[in-house]
Amino acid sequence: MAIERSASLRRVAKSRAGQSLIKTARGSCAVREPLRFAALQLGPAREGGYRVRGCEARVLLRHRTRDIDIFNEIFGGTAGRHSYDPPPAVCALLDATPRPRVLDVGANIGLFGAYVLSRWPQALIRSYEPDPTNMRLLQRTIAANEVGAQWSASGVAVANAPGELPFESGLFADSRLMLGGERVPAASHAAAGRTITVQAIDLLDDDHDVELLKMDIEGAEWPILGDERLGRLRARAIVLEWHASGCPVPDARGYALGRLASAGYSGLYEVDRGRENGLMWAWRESSLVSRASVNP
């Protein structure tokens, strides 16, 4: 509030150095090793392992990358909220399910999976992450939390058809499928990634009978959302980060809302709503009621 009232404080807070300090302070408060976190964040880019404050989750982070932004979104309370805290209807479903099943599409380094297990320790998680560098940290995160029996990870991409696809790797959280042969704009990254070929599975032909589907795949969500089989998706709730990139129409948010609604996801809660991307929760209200009734 003080920052909002002062133009000079706003300028400092929104400067590059100010943002870096804010990220560092917020992340330091979210781990049990705050001094080490701050030292690694302010020094040369390095990896660090941490225990999350307030729970038993362990995470691995690449300092001075977007890993820190995502960690703060999930555990550090960016903008005063935790982006992946589910709305009450979805939370009630997960709380009422003894072993909620979670499908994590675009798992990156496993921060969302770690969050799920911190809230629902008996959850069963399947993660998909095609970037080999991200996958290495994801596997280490699973091992660090000693949950290999309930959390699996597969190094494949997820699409609406199986096959081999070009993938731009090495961009940390921004690595993505190159649909239609396009490349990530160079201005969006300090360095270009490298193009590799990855195996893709068909999400809509996979086992999607889960309580929660999380999808964050940097624009590759549109072929899945546009598929005529979307209405058969059995996930009871979805948390989706949509991206304007790759959307077949100018209004990416509206298209995402429309496709989810057409598939029966009548419940909606939006966390972020920007021009280029946003985060939304959607759920089938009837399936949540019926599921909760058999899991009192």
Nearest alpha carbon to residue 105 among 186, 256, 208, 258: 208
Would you say residue 154 has pLDDT above 80? yes
Mean pLDDT of 40-47: 90
Would you say residue 2 has pLDDT above 90? no
Contact 166/197 with Cβ under 8 angstroms?
Answer: yes
Nearest alpha carbon to residue 194 among 211, 217, 212, 170: 170
- The verdict on pTM exceeding 0.85 is yes
Distances (CA, A) of 190 to 22, 107, 170, 186: 21, 22, 11, 8
Mean pLDDT of 71-99: 88
Contact 60/136 with Cβ under 8 angstroms?
Answer: no
What pLDDT score does 230 carry? 98
What pLDDT score does 77 carry? 73
The helices-and-strands tally (H runs, E runs) of the chain is 11, 13
Which of 40-49, 133-142, 207-216 is the least confident region? 40-49
Which residues lie closer than 8 Å to 100 by C-beta, 6 or more apart?
A: 93, 94, 120, 122, 123, 124, 211, 212
CATH number of 82-294: 3.40.50.150
**With pLDDT > 70 as the criterion, what percentage of the chain qualifies?**
86
